[in-house]
Chain A
């Protein structure tokens, strides 16, 4: 048993942290306030090559190990959460199926420019009536000759207003439930594809989120991303392992930032003649956070290790995502209490962590659905 990062991973972590500190940290407040996707920052960031960390070198990627990828995500989420969402969408969800199942032609046309940051991608699971409930997917894909015809509307899609391509979850037979789910590639310039309303969000506001509409979009037959029909739900489970660990580490990063800010505030803020960090009730908040934070973070890295080793870890990744997110929500709440009334003012950071952290609840499965599933598994097998 070895819980240590390698020397190389430590160096990688330090370098990524330094990069985020230099190019993202100074802009965090502005990015949140502007509520726009920052193309200049995107281009600057893309030049550094991180968008290719999980793809093969052949396509301009780095083929980094899973632990190092997770180290990258954790450091990235210390910075602006909205920007981090766009980046992780591009690296992980937005290009996952293209990298795994795309033809060589698709990879050259879509993956290579995506790694360079020249094309922006996204994945579309959610609809207005379904999200964590994948069986509720109503978007359809019907084979017509040598083309699939896609119809439906996707909602809550990260990068929807800016994306150049998307991976779409659709059913090839609505009567078959989850057994007929498949992933398809749609490009942004295809007839029938359009971008609907953009959503105004509580947090992660520098990532743009909205609706995508597919009205008789005709795509080539080989734009089906998968080895055979009906395996979509299995593939979804596989990508969701990585998404959940990434989300868990995002939670750790946001929580740590909030509590580190709160630590500085507690040392500075004087009440009843002393810095408030001298009071036991304030100290206990840090002690409790510290314990939960360490437990969350190392459980997430254990899951990352399981993914890397190819071990089955669907349940573990769900547990990690849920546990780390609940830890984060408690931490950002405690941070606002340490800041007292100042937490309510927009010029102090706690409100931003408080708002941004809420998004963690939904990505990778909402907790009520995960709890229901995990409870069922535990009662049966645990």
Chain B
């Protein structure tokens, strides 16, 4: 059972982000492995541990800092890591990323591909499904449970839907995107951390994947970043009960127009 996990290094939730211009962001130098990707890595490790064999490979696209996402994967227990880096990928969108990953996977043998349900920086959630499309394999997004069945030929996965749980059986190979709740990601042991510190990360460029810059030309264009609206200050309602409820309803209805 061989697993591939797609990982991404994203700005930490506490990093300060400012728009330098309409399309360029200044991001404070604080990065972390994407929150949802941790569930994906953990799940791959659990499948390997449960089956007692197989490998877990982590792959990412990006330059220098991106390697830390791979190191985190190794620290948690992944066997192998690949960093795909090319100047032509600097503006890569979901299409370009999926196209590149598809080329990487071609000729390699994976039964299960896992990724986070979305990256918390661009929140597009499109790379996983697009990749499955390019590979011509089934996929299921936002899973909260995964079980390998049918002697490693099938998987049973579940996701939460309104009012219940949807359980789906898919033939392998297949791609799954992880939702919070799939598992409790482990904290790396120092032995894993040391291994990650020393690990040589294999780097691959577009040429090695048989792709040209034109193949990965982004199909989307960022026109403008809009900073979120500043949160207004706290407003205390001074009146006593029950008059304060009336005031609250009036504010919600007339000022905020939310009810």
B partners with A: yes
Interface residues, chain A, CB within 8 Å of chain B?
8-9, 11-12, 14-16, 18-19, 22-23, 47-50, 52-53, 62, 64
* B68 lies within 8 A of A14 (CB): yes
Provide the bound-state CA to CA distance between A236 and B193, in Å. Answer: 31
* B187 lies within 8 A of A22 (CB): yes
Known contacts A11-B197, A15-B75, A53 near B190 by CB under 8 Å: yes
User: What chain B residues lie within 8 Å of A19 (beta carbons)?
Assistant: 187-188
* B68 lies within 8 A of A11 (CB): yes
* Contact with A49, one of B32, B68, B71, B189 (Cβ below 8 angstroms): B189
* A50 lies within 8 A of B197 (CB): no
User: What chain B residues lie within 8 Å of A9 (beta carbons)?
Assistant: 197
User: What chain A residues lie within 8 Å of B68 (beta carbons)?
Assistant: 11, 14
User: What chain B residues lie within 8 Å of A64 (beta carbons)?
Assistant: 194
* A12 lies within 8 A of B193 (CB): yes
Interface residues, chain B, CB within 8 Å of chain A?
32, 68, 71-72, 75, 187-191, 193-194, 196-198
A-B contact pairs, 22 of them (CB 8 A): A8-B197, A8-B198, A9-B197, A11-B71, A11-B193, A11-B196, A14-B68, A15-B75, A16-B193, A18-B32, A18-B187, A19-B187, A22-B187, A23-B187, A48-B188, A48-B189, A48-B190, A49-B190, A50-B190, A52-B190, A62-B190, A62-B191
* Nearest CB of A to B151, in Å: 33
Q: Can you add 15 more A-B contacts, CB < 8 Å, to A15-B75, A19-B188, A62-B190?
A: A8-B198, A9-B197, A11-B68, A11-B71, A11-B193, A11-B196, A12-B193, A12-B197, A16-B193, A18-B187, A22-B187, A23-B187, A49-B189, A49-B191, A50-B190
Provide the bound-state CA to CA distance between A23 and B157, in Å. Answer: 30
User: What chain B residues lie within 8 Å of A48 (beta carbons)?
Assistant: 187-190
Q: Which 4 A-B pairs have the closest CB atoms?
A: A49-B190, A8-B197, A49-B189, A50-B190
Provide the bound-state CA to CA distance between A47 and B191, in Å. Answer: 11
CB-based nearest B residue for A47? B189
Provide the bound-state CA to CA distance between A9 and B194, in Å. Answer: 10
CB-based nearest A residue for B33? A18
* Nearest CB of B to A114, in Å: 15
* Nearest CB of B to A175, in Å: 46
* A15 lies within 8 A of B189 (CB): no
CB-based nearest A residue for B67? A7
* A62 lies within 8 A of B187 (CB): no
Provide the bound-state CA to CA distance between A113 and B198, in Å. Answer: 26
Provide the bound-state CA to CA distance between A18 and B198, in Å. Answer: 19
User: What chain B residues lie within 8 Å of A11 (beta carbons)?
Assistant: 68, 71, 193, 196-197
User: What chain B residues lie within 8 Å of A47 (beta carbons)?
Assistant: 189
User: What chain B residues lie within 8 Å of A14 (beta carbons)?
Assistant: 32, 68
Provide the bound-state CA to CA distance between A23 and B198, in Å. Answer: 25
User: What chain B residues lie within 8 Å of A49 (beta carbons)?
Assistant: 189-191
CB-based nearest A residue for B187? A19
CB-based nearest A residue for B188? A15
Provide the bound-state CA to CA distance between A49 and B75, in Å. Answer: 13
CB-based nearest B residue for A23? B187
Known contacts A8-B197, A8-B198, A15 near B191 by CB under 8 Å: no
* Nearest CB of B to A285, in Å: 21
User: What chain A residues lie within 8 Å of B72 (beta carbons)?
Assistant: 15
* Nearest CB of A to B4, in Å: 22
Determine which residue in B189, B191, B193 has the highest number of CB atoms from chain A within 10 A of its CB, and name it.
B193
User: What chain A residues lie within 8 Å of B194 (beta carbons)?
Assistant: 62, 64
Determine which residue in B75, B189, B196, B197 has the highest number of CB atoms from chain A within 10 A of its CB, and name it.
B197
* Nearest CB of B to A109, in Å: 23
* Nearest CB of A to B38, in Å: 10
Determine which residue in A11, A16, A22, A50 has the highest number of CB atoms from chain B within 10 A of its CB, and name it.
A11
User: What chain A residues lie within 8 Å of B187 (beta carbons)?
Assistant: 18-19, 22-23, 48
* Nearest CB of A to B5, in Å: 18
* Nearest CB of A to B94, in Å: 27
Provide the bound-state CA to CA distance between A48 and B188, in Å. Answer: 7
Provide the bound-state CA to CA distance between A369 and B193, in Å. Answer: 40
* Nearest CB of A to B253, in Å: 28
* Nearest CB of A to B256, in Å: 23
CB-based nearest A residue for B198? A8
CB-based nearest B residue for A15? B193
Provide the bound-state CA to CA distance between A64 and B191, in Å. Answer: 11
User: What chain A residues lie within 8 Å of B190 (beta carbons)?
Assistant: 48-50, 52-53, 62
CB-based nearest A residue for B233? A270
User: What chain A residues lie within 8 Å of B196 (beta carbons)?
Assistant: 11, 15
User: What chain A residues lie within 8 Å of B71 (beta carbons)?
Assistant: 11
User: What chain A residues lie within 8 Å of B197 (beta carbons)?
Assistant: 8-9, 11-12
User: What chain B residues lie within 8 Å of A62 (beta carbons)?
Assistant: 190-191, 194
Provide the bound-state CA to CA distance between A16 and B68, in Å. Answer: 14
User: What chain A residues lie within 8 Å of B193 (beta carbons)?
Assistant: 11-12, 15-16
* Nearest CB of B to A13, in Å: 11
Provide the bound-state CA to CA distance between A18 and B13, in Å. Answer: 13
* Nearest CB of A to B90, in Å: 20
Determine which residue in B32, B190, B197 has the highest number of CB atoms from chain A within 10 A of its CB, and name it.
B190
CB-based nearest B residue for A19? B187
User: What chain A residues lie within 8 Å of B188 (beta carbons)?
Assistant: 15, 19, 48
CB-based nearest A residue for B75? A15
